Amino acid sequence: MKDRSPLQSRRQWLKTTGCGFGGLALTALSAQEYAPESHRKRERPRRPEDHSGKTGPHLPPRAKRVIFLFMPGGPSQFDTFDHKPDLAKALKPKEGAKRGRGPRMPSPFEFQRYGQSGLPISEVFSNVAQHADDLCLLNAMETSSNSHSSAETSLHNGRGRGRSEYELPSLGAWTYYGLGNSSNALPGYLTINYGGGAKNFGSGFLPSKYQGMRMEIGQQRRRFFGEAGSGGTANVGNRHYTVRGQRRQMDFVQSLNQDYVETLGGSDKVEAVIESFERGFDLQDTFQAMLDATNADALETKLYGLDESHTAGFGQQCLIARRMAEQGVPFIQLNHTGARSRLDWDHHGNLDKFLPESAAGVDKPIAGLLSDLNQRGMLDETLVVWGGEFGRTWYGRNGRGHQNRGFTMWMAGGGVKGGIRHGATDAHGTEIEHGKVTINDLHATILHQLGIDAAKLVFKQNSRELFSEAKNGKVVRDVLV
């Protein structure tokens, strides 16, 4: 008589429970580090490159990667990269008071002309100014809101006013989706010290693998790699097992997962989980080494300001960005978080004191990054973008309010013209006169330089074609080489 008992052995049950995740419990029962030899030697072939979402390039690319330098809070264009000497003329003490405005406020900082191009740049960015001939100043930027949260979301995913039916992918996610990733051991989209909402580095309606990997560094940040690490990413480190022990555990669990895939006759979802496990394991090795600023040589230490307390934090970010760029990471976002607030550039008061402090934290590291990329022959194929979610008003009392029209961002490298100013506002910076660039225009231009046509960058979901908001923008061809 046949045994029709539905009962399974403990091993069978663990192998078929939760896509093989029950193997974790079996691992513990089997002395954890010591999986059977047959399982340890069984390895899945790895793809040399991740092109699973690659849709581009549609055009000959001028850049291979983007490094976005985000200054949260909204830097004042009038005190950095948009000189308005007329603000100091014919001042009237009560000007603007009827509308609740302060008087016209000239910049308290000196501007000088730099490089062969003679770009006027504030003294607070004296180091970046040495690269004036590489900078393309966008002096007529416009965004849809002068609220921090709305403008920050727009800067990252291109959405203007109003709600979307879907959560929208960030520009970094679209870049990763469009280009793929040349390294299985590194993320395709990295954001460092970002303190805003997850949706601003999220993948939206794209598969979750394209969202930004959030990493935190610095003494004030939680460390995920133990005391020796200089930074970390959540859910990557394992404090309980050695690397050897983790590898044995991983091989065993992955063999159970692969068995489950075979019983299903194949499963893209389970294969994606298996791949995520492998990438997470790989990140502990290559990725961790690239985060460690203590192995920087003397030249790098000086160049990025790693030996100075006020520049060390952002200097480390810039050094990591250069290392990641060398290894082919397509989108890297650096975020300046100051000592006072996440919105370190939100200077409503004491501007004459706080703005120089904010600038001092990033000026030398950014100049070091531009120099390093240039010396390594990487600047021509790396598009560096600097800016905040909006700019500041032309009026105030030692502080400026929010202004979403006529603010300044800049680009360098990656096939854009250097030493130019594109767009302009009137003499007082109140209205855009020509050369307006919207956030969608900016995104379309960035994607274009990467060889991606925003109109062809499409994701199909439930028989629907979904596009980047950059499709609504126009490439700013006047700034391209």
**Per-domain residue ranges of the chain:** 10-41+243-291, 65-230+300-479
pLDDT per residue over 417-454, tens digit each? Answer: 999 999 999 999 999 999 999 999 999 999 999 999 99
Q: Give the CA count within 13 Å in the CB-facing half-sphere of 209.
A: 23
What pTM value is reported for the model?
A: 0.83
What's the CA gap between 357 and 391, in Å, rounded? 18
Could you identify the residue written with the tokens 């009392």?
Answer: 397
Within 10 angstroms of residue 317's Cβ, the number of other Cβ atoms is 29
Provide the pLDDT for residue 314: 96
Question: Residue 68 pairs with which residues in a beta bridge?
Answer: 333, 385
Q: Can you say whether the dihedral through the CA atoms of 220, 226, 227, 230 is positive or negative?
A: negative
Nearest-angstrom CA–CA distance, 167 and 123 = 41
Two structure tokens written together for 11: 């091993």
Question: Residue 323: its pLDDT value, please?
Answer: 96
Longest distance between any two alpha carbons in the chain, whole Å: 106
CB 465 within 8 A of CB 476: no
Q: In this predicted structure, what is the pLDDT of residue 13?
A: 52
156 vs 377: CA distance, rounded Å: 28
Identify the pLDDT of residue 369.
Answer: 98
Cβ pair 446, 174 in contact under 8 A: no
User: What whole-number distance in Å separates Cα of residue 234 and Cα of residue 199?
Assistant: 17
How many angstroms separate the CA atoms of 237 and 234, rounded? 7
Cβ neighbours for 459, distance < 8 A, ≥ 6 positions apart: 177, 205, 206, 465, 466, 467
Q: Which residues of the chain have pLDDT under 70?
A: 1-56, 90-101, 161-165, 219-238, 267-269, 271-272, 275, 285
Q: How far is CA 469 from the centre of its chain?
A: 18
Domain 65-230+300-479 has CATH 3.40.720.10: yes
